[in-house]
Structure 1
Amino acid sequence: MKFLNKLIPSSRCLVLVTLLSTACNEILEENPYTTFTKDYFKTSGGFRSAVVTGYAGMRFNYGPIGALDLNVFGTDEWTNGDQAISSPLNVYNVSTSEGDLLTPWNNNFWHINTLNLIINLKPEELVDVREADRVVWVAEARYLRAQYYYLLVTQFGAVPLDLGSGELQFNDLPTSAFNRLPVDDLLVKNYQAMIDDLTFAVENLPAKRPERAFNLSKSAALHLLAKVYLYRGYSAASQSTDFQNAYNTAIQLINGKDTYGAALLENFADVFREGNDYNAEILYAVERLPKNNTANEMLDPSTDFANKANMTNNMFNSNYQGPIFVFDPSTTPPSTQAYIDGRPLEYGRPLRRFAPTQWLFETAFADKKNDSRFDNSFRMVWYARSVSATPPATYVDRLQVIGLNIGDTAFYLTKTDREADSLKALTGAQKKNYRVFGPSEFYTNANRTNLIYPSLTKFQSIQRANFQDASGRPLPVSRFAETYLLAAEAAMLLGQSGEAADLINVLKRRAAYRPGLTPEEVESRYAAIEVTADDIDIDFILDERTRELAGEHSRWPDLAARGKLLDRVPTRNPDAANIQPHHVLRPIPQSQLDRISDPDKAKYQNPVY
């Protein structure tokens, strides 16, 4: 694979990411090196730089448009907004030249190669590295290698462990080989390599992460290990003990939460509250810093949607600039004004790439009263705001023509058409000055020219230097609430549906909580959504994952790994009705196949593509 020899260049500059420590955070800063050798990595500075480069490389997988497309589109939860009509990954018209495929493919392998180098360095080869540091750094590197492989295997199936110098060995020479055969045997090795790496990480990482940094810890490793066991149990590489091991590993984290520094927050809204990014429910997140585009490796944050940009704050927003009102009917045509002036920081850029499906809104979140997670995940109300700190006088004056002021409700999305009809029917003093949209208006516009829909708020990012910028917030990868879901699913698969219900009800009880409710009111709402063993099956588990994890960049592999893409997607996402059996794996990119010296390239490709 010719793209794999990126670690030690002879003629071009390689950017490594080195670590600067501050009182509260570890800040990633780029430092260029023109040339270097393996000896550099035998030093404390070089070894640590390679580890932190592994951390920084995760930014390619969490936040940019390609990574989001691969994990969000083509699912039961999300379809395309009007800025991504007929996206190939959503309508399942995927070719081997699809650019989004290259986001993990072109980036993950060379990070794996770098990690292979330092993982395999023997203690006696190192110059000034303390043994205690080496063990922890290798544990971090092995977690990261497992995560990179997890991200590849869950999309493409089996992928090479041998990058040209042997399995899990560093390679610094160009190769035209593509060591993917036999595929079934390789998939077994892929999963075992991930499990071995994560087991080492569990044994050797610190018990807890720092309070103000997302250094890896045992909690993140236990969580991912439980998930990998579960995924292997569903795969062609399954072993009879996988579901039991998944359960045991998740329960170890749940029962040892105090030891590992993990906790469920009382209020679901606080999990994603900006400024509370380092809370104990987030086990691991890809680090970014507010208003620090340099540290976030964003050279042009207003135009770069790919590379390492965290675009989650912008991609799930509906067209809030679309609704307008008439402030002067005497002109021809009548003079109009948008309810929102520009793009206020709190609303993000209305890039309208991902829109929730009707199934997500109406079925998964059918009970929006007793379960607080919909209200704490989606925006349904927009207020009259301006992008300017001092709103233009013309905007203020035009609002007042229709009885609105800055800060008033500008438009409101109702949860039922009945509520929308009632509000629209009001007259006289009761008439609402704001615009009202009912659910039937979210989904009936076939041309998608004015899509107004509930907009995900989990990744809202106000702390940005410019209203066009990408987010500077850390992006969660693993969350303690999901650990409960993994344990519940494993319990169900082991025939312990009562145990599964108990684990899910921990999340249900939290979902019933809203600030201001009395204990009796919380208990009443919990009783309305509590589940029993009879409710538990794989589809219920997947529905509950939607309620808890909607938008958290894992839905496509979640469905694919469980063999549920073909069952659930066509009935819940009409735009994705073209899905075929071979779409449960992504195609190996054509650019990779073109580099293989073997003329029989088809045998390396996934079926049908």
Structure 2
Amino acid sequence: MKTIYNIKHFIGAASITLLLGTSCSDILNEQPRSIYEPDFFKTERGVEGGITALYAHLRDLYGQAYYYNSCQTGTDEATYGSDADSNFKDNDYSGVGNLTASSSRSDVLWNSVFTYINTANGIIENGSEVGVDEALIAEAHFFRGFDYFLLVQTFGGVPLDLGAGELKFNITPSRVSVRNTVTDVYTKAVFPDLVNAVTYLPENPRVTGGLTKNVARLYLSKAYLTYAWWLENPNDIPTYPECQRVDPDGHDAAWYYQQAYDLAVTAIDNPGPYALLDYFYDVNLGSNDRNKEIMLYADHTEEDEYYNGGSLSYGSGSAPDNFSGWMMTWNYTVLQCKDSNGDNINPLRRVAEQSYGRPWTRMCPTYEVITNTFADKTHDSRYDGTFVTVYRANWSKEVSGVSYVIGADGSQVKEGEAILSFLPNDEDASNIQYPEGAGDNAIGAGVLAGRSDFVISPEGISRRTYPGLWKLGPYRTDNGNGPGQPNAGSTRPYNIAKFSELYLLAAEAAVKGATTQSGKSARELINVLRARAGKWRWSNADNVEKIADYSAEMTNATPATIDIKYILEERSREFYGEGYRWYDLVRTQMWNEMAGSYSICGSAYGDHELVKYTRTINKEHYLRPIPQSQLDALTMTEAEKDAYQNPGYRD
């Protein structure tokens, strides 16, 4: 059985909902508390409940679509979709909006994690006194370091003092705040907390999905790597609060790159319960969730609404629901055909299956994602294991008495057969006959001689119609013979950390000069993942078993010399659409170079005119604004608030 973590909401510094459980329980029992006193964490029960809440708080971020948008939209992986509002357009930097302290959805991060940081402070201060094992307290250290790492990457320096002193448990709401420097946050919080976690966490998790030494090693490696880039600052990106980029312990960027490499390699060589799966396809397959490659996830379940953290039948559009997968799901249900009775029918129905799910059309991939990032679709299985490119008729989920529909070429298309396909390349683009506007099929899809499915080539994808994001699609076992509950938030866990990332972290550190071990150069590390990507056991596009091994072709195609751009390209192929991208581009200071322009067709059905857009990404954009709600809550002068804000977003 799996352990389910759940929490409702923390509000302010003195309001908490705790889940209390024992080590022998598979399901942690939730007992809400509206107020906790200073002595609450001076009980073993309080410490254990607080630790459970720290796991549950992952749901406030991971699967929350607006935070997801802040990590993806405006990068080389995604732009805004046809139904996007300012939440998404402001993030695109292409002239359709303006990211401000009031509109930035990085506020989700700021507004959620400080309460949990304070919970961790209480656990760390009191845990030993009440006899809690160091390994359990190390979980609080991990989450505090984890949260501060997210904050410092996003906003620059942030406050370590929440009102009672730096890293002290605070029980009194404070309306003044001082931001520490980036150096302070890393060397006083992130590094010590994650080092503690590496030291005291167990090799194997105490509960399903629990923390281990290797989870801590992954994040400590990533933190060392990110800090090394910050110290080096190759593109002269400003930081705030202003400070010298000098490490207080006297180490330079090269030292931290080496530490990052050594930690990642140690984790690879001592995997514990983790391992790479044999096939990329299986990593994100819904029926294979919580597999051995996933090191950390925000959990959900279809078994019980209480432990799912949200309704099983409708989506709230807010945390703790997992609704990120809706954002890059376009409205495939609009497609229209004639049925066997001569009537118009929508042959694609909204269902709670991984290739379908709830459409929102708020975000979409760019043309360059399809043609450049995933250029090799023959050997590399990762495009097929990432996107929905073929939509199969499924009308019987809701409609009876229809035996077939009329396809693009006038032939009969049966239930389960392809009715719409996004072509893998533009080889046949000139031969596609697109209708005027939306056409009879209502989405402006084209006809290609000899094919019964309607088609759209890569150069014809638009903000309205594009390949869906398969890897985040819903998966449920309770659909029966109907559509299930496609309007609910996903009951799948949201994957946060994967064993595969250790190879790419070590490779990046190696490219930055770390001394490598035998057999673990940057190219050799990357080729482990590329060889895996060349192995197929199933084709999503063809919906059939596909036994093929192109690992030799994949590794032979790897450049002899690896650079940072290639590392980032491999990270995108491996982790596309999972919420990594903005942090990757900001860390490596490659955001403008990798994402400064993109191409896509327009927002109307039938718009197949490819347009190139230019983004204005300035150096000050490499930090997100402090949320306006935070500034409004401070009892400080306007001048002090202005100084508290990052320079690129001041009035």
TM class, shorter-length: 0.7 to 0.9
Q: How many positions carry a matched residue from both structures?
A: 572
- Assess, with a 3 A threshold, how the Cα gap between structure 1 residues 300 and 522 changes in structure 2: closer, same or farther: closer
- Assess, with a 3 A threshold, how the Cα gap between structure 1 residues 312 and 386 changes in structure 2: closer, same or farther: farther
The normalised TM-score by structure 2 is 0.82
Matching residue's letter, 2:322: N
More divergent stretch after superposition (476-485 vs 31-40): 31-40
Asked if the contact 2:287–2:475 (Cα under 8 Å) also holds between the matched residues in 1, the reply is no
Displacement of 1:373 in angstroms is 0.8
What secondary structure sits across from 2:413 in the alignment?
coil
Map Cα deviations across residues 295-349 of structure 1 (whole Å, 9 max, x no partner).
122158624122211113322212211222245999xxxx632231344534111
CA distance in 2, matches of 1:234, 1:387: 54
2:201 counterpart of 1:194:
no
Segments of 4+ moved more than 6 angstroms: 20-23, 516-519
More divergent stretch after superposition (555-564 vs 189-198): 189-198
CA distance in 2, matches of 1:341, 1:477: 30
Displacement of 1:269 in angstroms is 0.6
Aligned to 1:541: 567
Map Cα deviations across residues 489-512 of structure 1 (whole Å, 9 max, x no partner).
001101669811111111111111
CA distance in 2, matches of 1:605, 1:430: 59
Asked if the contact 1:409–1:434 (Cα under 8 Å) also holds between the matched residues in 2, the reply is yes
2:334 counterpart of 1:310:
no
CA distance in 2, matches of 1:41, 1:282: 31
Match among 467, 471, 474 for residue 490 of structure 2: 471
Asked if the contact 1:223–1:253 (Cα under 8 Å) also holds between the matched residues in 2, the reply is yes
- Assess, with a 3 A threshold, how the Cα gap between structure 1 residues 118 and 383 changes in structure 2: closer, same or farther: same
Aligned to 1:569: 595
What secondary structure sits across from 1:468 in the alignment?
coil
Map Cα deviations across residues 181-226 of structure 1 (whole Å, 9 max, x no partner).
xx5x35433354111101110111110236x821011111000000
Matching residue's letter, 1:565: W
Displacement of 1:58 in angstroms is 1.1
The normalised TM-score by structure 1 is 0.87
User: Cα RMSD between the aligned structures?
Assistant: 2.9
Q: Which ranges of structure 1 fall in alignment gaps of 5 or more residues?
A: none
Aligned to 1:69: 69
CA distance in 2, matches of 1:329, 1:277: 41
Query: Residues 130-209 of structure 1: matches in 2 within 5 Å?
Result: 131=132, 134-180=133-179, 185-209=181-205
Map Cα deviations across residues 484-536 of structure 1 (whole Å, 9 max, x no partner).
000000011016698111111111111111127778x535433543332x2x1
Aligned to 2:642: 602
CA distance in 2, matches of 1:63, 1:576: 29
Aligned to 1:512: 534
More divergent stretch after superposition (228-237 vs 482-491): 228-237
Displacement of 1:402 in angstroms is 5.0
Query: Residues 273-292 of structure 1: matches in 2 within 5 Å?
Result: 273-292=285-304
What secondary structure sits across from 1:458 in the alignment?
helix
Aligned to 2:384: 375
More divergent stretch after superposition (88-97 vs 360-369): 88-97
Aligned to 1:587: 625
CA distance in 1, matches of 2:310, 2:23: 20
CA distance in 2, matches of 1:576, 1:423: 28
Map Cα deviations across residues 15-57 of structure 1 (whole Å, 9 max, x no partner).
223337777xx43554222444233322222111100111111
2:31 counterpart of 1:31:
yes
Map Cα deviations across residues 233-257 of structure 1 (whole Å, 9 max, x no partner).
0114564111011001101101112
Query: Residues 335-374 of structure 1: matches in 2 within 5 Å?
Result: 336-346=344-354, 347-374=356-383
What secondary structure sits across from 2:153 in the alignment?
helix
2:447 counterpart of 1:439:
no
Asked if the contact 1:281–1:481 (Cα under 8 Å) also holds between the matched residues in 2, the reply is yes
Displacement of 1:578 in angstroms is 3.0
Query: Residues 88-487 of structure 1: matches in 2 within 5 Å?
Result: 88-91=90-93, 93-98=98-103, 100-121=105-126, 123-124=128-129, 126=130, 129=131, 131=132, 134-180=133-179, 185-209=181-205, 213-236=208-231, 237=245, 239-240=251-252, 241-257=255-271, 260-299=272-311, 302-327=314-339, 336-346=344-354, 347-386=356-395, 388=397, 391-396=398-403, 398=405, 403-419=412-428, 431-443=450-462, 448=463, 451-463=464-476, 466-487=485-506
Q: Which has the higher helix share?
A: 1
CA distance in 2, matches of 1:5, 1:32: 13
- Assess, with a 3 A threshold, how the Cα gap between structure 1 residues 582 and 429 changes in structure 2: closer, same or farther: closer
- Assess, with a 3 A threshold, how the Cα gap between structure 1 residues 363 and 372 changes in structure 2: closer, same or farther: same
CA distance in 2, matches of 1:300, 1:606: 40
What secondary structure sits across from 1:483 in the alignment?
helix
What secondary structure sits across from 1:96 in the alignment?
coil
How much identity, in percent, do the aligned residues show?
Answer: 31
Match among 2, 17, 25 for residue 15 of structure 1: 17
Displacement of 1:406 in angstroms is 1.1
CA distance in 1, matches of 2:552, 2:648: 52
- Assess, with a 3 A threshold, how the Cα gap between structure 1 residues 378 and 429 changes in structure 2: closer, same or farther: closer
- Assess, with a 3 A threshold, how the Cα gap between structure 1 residues 216 and 338 changes in structure 2: closer, same or farther: same
- Assess, with a 3 A threshold, how the Cα gap between structure 1 residues 149 and 503 changes in structure 2: closer, same or farther: same
Asked if the contact 1:20–1:27 (Cα under 8 Å) also holds between the matched residues in 2, the reply is no
